[in-house]
Amino acid sequence: MYHQLYKVTEFQIVDEYTIRVSFDDGSTQTINFEPVLQGELWGQLCDLALFNEVAIDPIARTLSWPNGADFDPETLRNWPDYAEELAERAAQWAEAVM
């Protein structure tokens, strides 16, 4: 399977848990991350102060957070293709913890 390599070039927090992300191919995605913030790593990002500490990793060129959470830039670039599956996985993680 072919995996396109993208780089995040800039981002803007546009609402709670929502970021507009720009890529090196000129495309953008506006992503509401709230539905996927579950589990040991991404669940920590429910803390809005931590979520808002997002930055662009200088090596991987993707969004990353101080706790080590990040997403593959290809996943971010093609978020509509992954959003439902990621939200379903997050819901399963939440159920497993209960």
The domain made up of 8-97 is a member of CATH 3.30.2020: yes
Q: d(Cα 34, Cα 7) in Å, to the nearest integer?
A: 22
Mean pLDDT of the chain: 92
Q: What is the reported pTM? A: 0.90
Domain ranges for the chain, please list them: 8-97
Q: Tell me, what's the pLDDT at 47? A: 97
- pLDDT-flagged residues of the chain (< 50): none
Asked if 69 and 42 touch (Cβ cutoff 8 Å), the reply is yes
Q: d(Cα 58, Cα 6) in Å, to the nearest integer?
A: 13
